[in-house]
Structure 1
Amino acid sequence: MKTAIVGAGAMGQLFGARLQLAGEDVTLFDTQQRTIDALNSSGISLETEKGTEHVSVKARRAEDERGPFDLFVVFTKGFHTRSAVESVQHLLGPGSVGLTLQNGLGHAKILMEFFGPEHTVAGVTDFPADLEAVGRVKSSERGSVRIGSLGPQGHADEVAQAFNRAGLNAKVESDVRIPIWEKVAFNAALNSLSAVTGKVVGDLAKSPDARALISAVLAETRSVAASEGIDLSVERVGGAVESAFANHAAHKTSMLADLEAGRPTEVDFIGGAVVETGRESGVPTPVLETLCRLVRIRTAN
């Protein structure tokens, strides 16, 4: 497929490199000219346990490109989703498919406005991606992609096939809302608490108080998900949290990194979205709501 990666950050560069290495026709779109120039000049070097692979890539501003593209994979921050999809609207064809693998809730609804339910795919990924510099990505072979179509006759299968050719370990889910909400629960707990306390993952693991708050957030998120007809597994999410504690102790969450860099956070698309959904359904989320308010206070400062 002719594939557009919308947002050439760490995840965009990881997936762009993987797909290009597998022989797909990939273009990365970004708004930062410095990023575009670096990618066009030097390509992407991808480091994993197997070593380092290098691939040349194409990077553009959306307004400088002509379409159509078959697949659009959106990797922007949540607050940029609508403007990002609007920027590539002129590149959509009648059969174009939109895919969101972004953190949080609400992105698929935006994509459906542009692509339609039959041509919108949503999902999650747990592949790590650390951007050491533009065009230098450190990742792992251990990761997966879980996706599902949002229309009754969607395109998740063909997207998964392309991803699997690229070694991205994609699986099509019968109800993709479950892995999406489970990742939201994971991020709502770890990202919010890390951002409020300024602690990395390993520090949270050592604190009984942090563990108690994480358990409370997971329980609240499960209750909200249940009100939406989604059977979220606290045990599975808790296992993922323990895995993060054991294997990524030095990791600084993206929300904490954004705060320290003075950038906007995605709190309203992760924990904040859970709180809002709970409010609409009559499900209280006092612990998570307090953490989100504290993140916003830190952002305002």
Structure 2
Amino acid sequence: MEHTQAHSRPRASRQKQAKKHRKRRTNMSQPPWVIVGTGAIGSILGARLLQQQQSVYFVTRSEATEAHLQVTGHTQLTGPVQTVHQGTLQQLPANAVWVFPVKAWQLASALTSYQSALSQAQHIIISHNGLGAAEEALQPYQGKLIDWVTTHGGWRKEKYHTVHSGMGQNWLGMRHGEQAAPTWWPLWQQAFSSEWEPHIALRRWHKLAINCAINPLATLANSPNGELQKPHYQADIQAVCEEVSALMQQALPQHTQPVRAENLYQHVQQVIAGTAENINSMLQDVRAKRPTEVDYLNGFVHKKGRQLHVPTPVNSRLWQAILALN
């Protein structure tokens, strides 16, 4: 498998490389890809793009110009990858597609850190659990914003070693404005099978409901997701789905076919069964004493419910219970 090379090149080849970069500025259909961090889902995406001989850069805190990335499981890649950090962002080609597969609470500071480079970005792809993250920091980029909803599973074994543990689906769509897929879309699809979704907001709310039901309950039980198949969890799961469904009808009035609570409940049950052995990300965060995304999950539902005068007692209780763990 061919890997892209790092930026440290002999002086003689730099002119050629600069020429290639200038060429890329006009080739909107084959952009360089800039992935923030080396988290699980970003590493999986990067590995798949590299398998298609795409130009991929990982933004890290390290000053090294390359890292040794390993992805195992459903995606396989081992080898050197190009890295940049805040001090070398100017080396990135223009018209890059930036991908932010970061935690919801990390998004605002990441956007602020890289804002000088983001002004030249072709698109900015956001992927995190929950809703309501970094809304103010995202304002300048409204026409470039793409949301990525994924159900693929992955976890970091070590700093640069990710395990792609579960196959799932991907949906991407523009958050605002133009609904057509961008010119680079075939390259993404070829690397990582996905659907272009004109109504991405509906997908995001649907995933919100699943995460609000599963993540806090399994975390409070300190157990893999399969624990939630037991009867005594069903009333809370049903209530979470009913509260999110009621909110969706208020928050997404343009959708004439609102998602019914029964449908959300059935989908939650399917996800629980399909991920029975998984330790969800919220429980991983609690065990590692990291901040969780609960403010953007059940916390978001609580705040949106107050704003729209929709009662959300079970989501509010779960939000407070997870905050108490931290």
TM-score where L is the length of structure 2: 0.82
State the distance in 1 between where 2:119 and 2:194 align: 25
Contact 2:71 2:164 in 1 (8 A): no
1:285 corresponds to 2:289: no
Show the counterpart of 1:265: 292
State the distance in 2 between where 1:110 and 1:72 align: 18
Show the counterpart of 1:102: 128
State the distance in 1 between where 2:136 and 2:146 align: 12
1:223 corresponds to 2:246: yes
State the distance in 1 between where 2:265 and 2:111 align: 34
Matches within 5 A, 1:3-152: 3-31=33-61, 33=62, 40-48=66-74, 52-66=76-90, 67=92, 68-94=94-120, 96-107=122-133, 109-110=135-136, 112-115=138-141, 117-139=142-164, 142-152=167-177
Matches within 5 A, 1:113-262: 113-115=139-141, 117-139=142-164, 142-153=167-178, 156-166=181-191, 168-206=192-230, 208-229=231-252, 231-262=258-289
| Runs (5+) with no aligned partner, structure 1 | none
Q: Give per-residue Cα distances to partners, 1:176-228, cap 9 Å, x unaligned.
A: 1111000000001101112222222111112x121221111011011111111
Residue 156 to residue 273, structure 1, CA distance change in 2 (3 Å): farther
The CA RMSD over aligned residues, in Å, is 2.3
| Runs (5+) with no aligned partner, structure 2 | 1-30
Contact 1:121 1:154 in 2 (8 A): no
Residue 249 to residue 195, structure 1, CA distance change in 2 (3 Å): same
Q: How many angstroms does 1:261 deviate by?
A: 1.1
Percentage identity across aligned positions? 25
Residue 171 to residue 250, structure 1, CA distance change in 2 (3 Å): same
3-state SS in 1 of match to 2:182: helix
Residue 155 to residue 86, structure 1, CA distance change in 2 (3 Å): farther
State the distance in 2 between where 1:237 and 1:110 align: 30
Residue 255 to residue 142, structure 1, CA distance change in 2 (3 Å): closer
Q: Give per-residue Cα distances to partners, 1:60-104, cap 9 Å, x unaligned.
A: 323322133521111111111011011111212445211112111
Contact 1:63 1:87 in 2 (8 A): no
